[in-house]
Structure 1
Amino acid sequence: MRREINSEELGFFYRATGEAIWQLQYVEDALCKFYIIVCIHFGCDGITRENAEMNQKQIGRKTLGQLIGLLERTERVQSSMLSDLKEFNSLRKWIVHNSMRENGQDLYTDHGRDEFAKKLLVFSEMARSIHNGISDSLMHLVTTAGHATEEQIMRMANSEIDRLKGKA
């Protein structure tokens, strides 16, 4: 059945789209840091502890696809992680660039709205899952290399959270 989207549905659509974009940015930020740390650890792309901050500013401007390409070239990232990232990037392209053109008319049907909403929710869930996977990989790399313990990392993270909340 065709009908105009109501204000509640439109509100959900905008909130879900905003959440998806926000979650994407968390993944991109984590991937940038992950790439820097992988390069420092394995000595790739000329990134060292000394020039990491300078490189992070430049690499932080890259898109998800570009970051995936950088990680792929290191040959130090599991193929399953790269596969998940590529699938995520494909869905990102649809949300950011093509959803309105390819599926905007779907918002005028109940089934179309449901499918559209599912894609947005799947994307946000993928983003959270990928972000957690990146965090786990970073924790493993840093702790097994002896750079820090999990307790030290968690203490620093909690301290930063407190600072952001105005408690420090």
Structure 2
Amino acid sequence: MRREINSEELGFFYRATGEAIWQLQYVEDSLCKFYIVICIHFGCDGITRENAEMIQKKISRKTLGQLIGLLERTERVQSSMLSDLKEFNSLRKWVVHNSMRENGQDLYTDHGRDEFAKKLLVFGNMAKSIHNGISDSLMHLVTTAGHATEEQIIRKANSEIDRLKGKA
């Protein structure tokens, strides 16, 4: 059925799109840190503990695709993770650059709205899953290398959350 999108549906699309973009930024931030830690651990790309902070500032400006390329060149990231990241990046391009142009007209049909919403939700869920996977990989790498225990990392993370909330 063809009809104009109502305000409740429009609100959902705006919120879902905003959440998707926010989740994307979490993934990008985590990938930067992941890349730095991998490079320090395995001696890649001249990154050391001493220059990591400076290099991270530069790397944090890179796009998701550029970050995936950096990770791929280290040859230290599992192919399944790279494959997931590439699929996510393809969907990111649709969300960020092409959703309105390619599928904006779909919002005028019930089926189109449903498909559009599903795609946004898939992207958001994929972002959360990838972010969790990166966090798990970082935790594994840091703890197995003996740099910190999981308890120390969680304690520091909770302390930072408390600080941000104004509780510290």
Q: Normalization by structure 2: what TM-score?
A: 0.99
CA distance in 2, matches of 1:154, 1:96: 33
CA distance in 1, matches of 2:25, 2:15: 15
> Which stretches of structure 1, 4 residues or longer, exceed 4 Å deviation after superposition?
none
- Secondary structure, counterpart of 1:46 in structure 2: coil
CA distance in 1, matches of 2:99, 2:125: 18
1:72 CA drift (Å):
0.2
Residue in 1 aligned with 2:154? Answer: 154
CA distance in 1, matches of 2:83, 2:38: 18
Q: Deviations over 1:67-107 (max 9, x none)?
A: 00000000000000000000000000000011111100000
- Secondary structure, counterpart of 1:50 in structure 2: coil
CA distance in 1, matches of 2:121, 2:147: 36
CA distance in 2, matches of 1:67, 1:108: 36
Residue in 1 aligned with 2:34? Answer: 34
Residue in 1 aligned with 2:129? Answer: 129
CA distance in 1, matches of 2:124, 2:164: 24
CA distance in 1, matches of 2:132, 2:56: 20
CA distance in 2, matches of 1:159, 1:7: 40
CA distance in 2, matches of 1:95, 1:109: 19
1:35 CA drift (Å):
0.2
1:126 CA drift (Å):
0.3
1:32 CA drift (Å):
0.3
1:159 CA drift (Å):
0.3
Q: Deviations over 1:121-147 (max 9, x none)?
A: 000000000000000000000000000
Identity of aligned residues (%): 93
Structure 1: gaps (5+ residues): none
Q: Within 5 A, what are the aligned runs for 1:85-124? A: 85-124=85-124
- Secondary structure, counterpart of 2:61 in structure 1: coil
Residue in 2 aligned with 1:75? Answer: 75
Instruction: Say how many residue pairs are matched.
Output: 168
- Secondary structure, counterpart of 1:76 in structure 2: coil
Q: Normalization by structure 1: what TM-score?
A: 0.99
Q: Deviations over 1:146-167 (max 9, x none)?
A: 0000011011001000000000
1:26 CA drift (Å):
0.2
1:112 CA drift (Å):
0.2
The alignment yields a C-alpha RMSD, in angstroms, of: 0.3
CA distance in 1, matches of 2:95, 2:135: 24
CA distance in 2, matches of 1:120, 1:97: 13
